[in-house]
A and B are shown apart, each in its own frame.
Chain A
């Protein structure tokens, strides 16, 4: 039997320029509705791209026309985090992106932030302390990323004091240990509770069996950066599986960073004030139904920006984060098809920052006082989940969660002369119940509905539903109609912080989001897949940093409502031999609902291209990333311009047995661009890194 799969593979050699999606990349001036029509048309099976290929009656037998190698390259994109169970991304009640270990290596991604920068609709801004994740036009300066929930193997990583979504060098897990990153867009509080506001990012880590021995990796990069990793993983005779890994990174950072705002001090140059040191350990021990997992990360980052009114170019201005957890998980599927998961875990977060101040005391001119900002959180939690298919058509999942925040501490003081500004000790707890039903109305129509009730000892209860209608009229096409609500609880920092220049606001309430989304996913032949989604999110009580004009102090408040709406489109292709790529364009219009004013740090247009080309067999690959972002306004009403960044990586594996090597050039064209920062900075925006490189070697033994 001859089918068309192979022919289409040949015909399918579309260059990117042939596809109607490309005009989107410079779409700034095009009317969005026309754009959408173009995108939808491109994906429509009867009229679009497929029109020049003959109709195929390709059943499962068509797969036999693929070579063994092509078969091994077909993608079976699975996602766990969307419904708290493993399912195909097309069946998930969300718009999902998956980034695999293979892509992370080939594109030379060094942190989770690098991964997210390559994903449609996401952007990351950096103030030389932490990277902050923006989604769908919302990335408020002064916020630590609490509107995105990051989980590692389902375990919550955001800490309870600042909600920090660790994603830079301070990421809890070395990216080398990541099997895949699941990016699940839309409100997820119906399953996850707090922080699952715009998206949930679930990191699935590798297992001991993936190593069968030891692995050592070392990297040298620009700015005197040296990194190393040692990993051992195996599955033993008795069924015990072990993974143990340690990472070390030391970077001197930029020798000189120029900030014209401080031109009166050292000509505005911060010298040797950008260092980073990182130590992290990750381990996993599994036996039968039990998994013990632990992570420890300690990072210190020097601050060159003189943020929060500190003395410019002074020594001992740093921020240090320590995040750790230990978790014991039990997972079992009983004979009667009940699936049970239980987990107990302990979480630790410690933050220590030093800020050098000159209090302009006339008695001691030029004296620098070290102000310290400390935070400590410890919590003990448990989580239970059961799942079962009932009456054939209902897949039910129910869960319970209890979290005891044993310690929530914030301290702020001067070292000498000693002065205490803040000493807040509190504790609290929360519990939650959720239920989810995936109801197969027909074989090609699923209603996934769920809701979760969370109760916090601090502010009370919140109820968050989600519903999704997933319709697949033909196997290649999927429509998803999504509705969801979510919340973000005010964190300890926002409620209780009152240090130098800050005051507390105990009457803060949770912020809430309501989101509507229409997703369309379309397979185009054996190699291409397109997706388009329209979204609208209404946020009320958004918590943001503001200045009280009366005393000039910063504080947090439930500010105006915000509406964000737009469209995301992507075309992804995977071909035999390792050639693959994706191109995306997203438009987001995020405004304060009352004034109609556009949010700061909110680019309207994001365009991305990722292409990886095999140069020699399955051994040598050249990969290019292009990321473009339109102009953004700053918190003080200024503007940072549009920019485009190109990153290039040459990656090889098995050129010698067990050896992997890569050379990366980031910001290849040395583009100058800036990211808006919070009102705690004198600068309106912070200059980002120019061209830089990394050479990495990895050896498995």
Chain B
């Protein structure tokens, strides 16, 4: 018994023509292939977008920047792939007149001088040390490990039901003089205290 769907012999020529056209389109012969508009975003891409959004939706205290046009520095303790993705995401972007710079950091580096520090899940074992070095300073700390907030981080990007939503320990951010906007808080899961 043959699969009726590919029983081409008995099918009208129209179907064959359409299939051929379709194949041609795929192979790039058709009208303008538009492959680049990737609608299926990866987890890493979404996380990178969030990190940049945080810069926009968090207020730093006046003293956090040397000058009015000092760039915002995002320190990243992560693999090359994520760092590269983040660089692509921020390319040419400014927030309140400030350029955004992405700085790759080694796990044992000194993160002081950054306004935002991202610690990848792979680097969670260094999180306590890294966070210790900037305790009390106006540095927004963002992570992805499920232990990140317990270690003292401020925002964690957690996947739940196939969606990525930020979890925020508001008290931790406020202690560092940072003010997440109400818009950010509205879409986040706000934790009253650090989880255990």
Name A's B-contacting residues (CB within 8 A). 1, 4, 8, 31-38, 40-41, 44-47, 50-51, 55-64, 66, 68-69, 71-78, 88, 90, 98, 100-102, 179-180, 209-210, 235-239, 473-477, 523-529, 534, 536, 563, 565-567, 589, 591, 593, 596
Contact = CB atoms under 8 A, between A and B. Distances in A.
Given A57-B36, A68-B184, A74-B41, 7 more contacts: A50-B37, A51-B31, A55-B34, A60-B88, A237-B196, A238-B196, A565-B4
6 contacts: A60-B49, A68-B53, A76-B41, A76-B162, A77-B162, A536-B3
Given A33-B11, A56-B34, A75-B162, A46 B25 contact: yes
Interface stretch (B89-97, B112-120, B135-143): B89-97
Interface in B92-134: 92-93
Given A34-B15, A60-B88, A565 B3 contact: yes
B52 A475 contact: no
A47 B22 contact: yes
Nearest to A234: B196
A40 B6 CA distance: 13
A72 B34 contact: no
A511 to B, nearest CB: 19
Given A40-B19, A41-B18, A90-B40, A74 B46 contact: yes
Contacts of B37: 4, 8, 50, 55-58, 62, 476, 525
B34 A523 contact: no
Contacts of B62: none
B122 to A, nearest CB: 10
A151 to B, nearest CB: 19
Nearest to A574: B163
A63 B52 CA distance: 10
Nearest to A5: B37
Contacts of B52: 64
A78 B26 CA distance: 27
Interface of B: 1, 3-8, 11-12, 14-15, 18-19, 21-22, 25-26, 30-43, 45-46, 48-50, 52-53, 57, 85, 88-93, 146, 159-166, 183-184, 186-187, 195-196
Contacts of B7: 33
The 8 closest A-B pairs by CB, nearest first: A474-B35, A523-B39, A475-B38, A63-B49, A46-B25, A237-B196, A56-B37, A46-B30
Contacts of A75: 162-163
B53 A64 contact: yes
Contacts of A51: 31
A32 B5 contact: yes
Nearest to A4: B37
Interface residues of chain A: helix, strand, loop or mixed (majority):
mixed
A74 B187 CA distance: 13
Given A60-B88, A64-B52, A474 B33 contact: yes
B84 to A, nearest CB: 10
A567 B4 CA distance: 10
| Highest count of chain B CB atoms <10 Å: which of A35, A38, A60, A566 | A60
Given A37-B22, A589-B4, A72 B163 contact: yes
B26 A523 contact: no
Contacts of B15: 31, 33-34, 36-37
A474 B38 contact: yes
A76 B53 contact: no
Nearest to B91: A61
Nearest to A479: B26
Nearest to B57: A68
A46 B8 CA distance: 24
B91 A235 contact: no
Given A31-B11, A56-B34, A68-B183, A74 B164 contact: yes
Contacts of A55: 32, 34, 36-37
Contact of B31 (A47, A72, A78): A47
A80 to B, nearest CB: 12
B31 to A, nearest CB: 5
A64 B91 CA distance: 11
B30 A63 contact: no
A46 B39 contact: no
A634 to B, nearest CB: 23
Contacts of A50: 34, 37
B89 A61 contact: yes
B38 A102 contact: no
B34 A565 contact: no
| Highest count of chain B CB atoms <10 Å: which of A36, A71, A88, A534 | A71
A72 B46 CA distance: 9
Contacts of A237: 196
A473 B27 CA distance: 9
A66 to B, nearest CB: 7
Given A61-B89, A476-B37, A37 B49 contact: no
Given A64-B49, A534-B3, A475 B19 contact: no
Contacts of B33: 45-46, 474
Given A476-B40, A523-B39, A524-B39, A179 B22 contact: no
Contacts of B53: 64, 68, 71
A100 B43 CA distance: 17
A145 to B, nearest CB: 26
Contacts of A101: 161
Nearest to A69: B187
Contacts of A476: 35, 37-40
Nearest to A538: B1
B50 A71 contact: yes
B26 A473 contact: yes
A441 B195 CA distance: 43
Contacts of A57: 36-37
B43 A47 contact: no
Contacts of B162: 75-78, 98, 100, 180
A179 B90 CA distance: 34
B4 A46 contact: no
Given A40-B22, A209-B195, A474-B38, A33 B5 contact: yes
A77 B161 CA distance: 8
Contacts of B39: 476, 523-529
Contact of A44 (B22, B43, B46, B165): B22
A421 to B, nearest CB: 42
Contacts of A68: 53, 57, 183-184, 186-187
A32 B34 contact: no
Contacts of A88: 42
A276 B21 CA distance: 56
A134 to B, nearest CB: 20
Given A72-B165, A567-B5, A45 B34 contact: yes
Contacts of A34: 11-12, 14-15
A620 B45 CA distance: 30
A595 B7 CA distance: 20
A238 to B, nearest CB: 7
Nearest to B30: A46
Given A33-B8, A237-B196, A596-B1, A179 B161 contact: yes
Given A33-B5, A71-B50, A473 B35 contact: yes
A367 to B, nearest CB: 52
A180 B160 CA distance: 9
A44 B26 contact: yes
Given A46-B25, A567-B5, A596-B1, A71 B35 contact: no
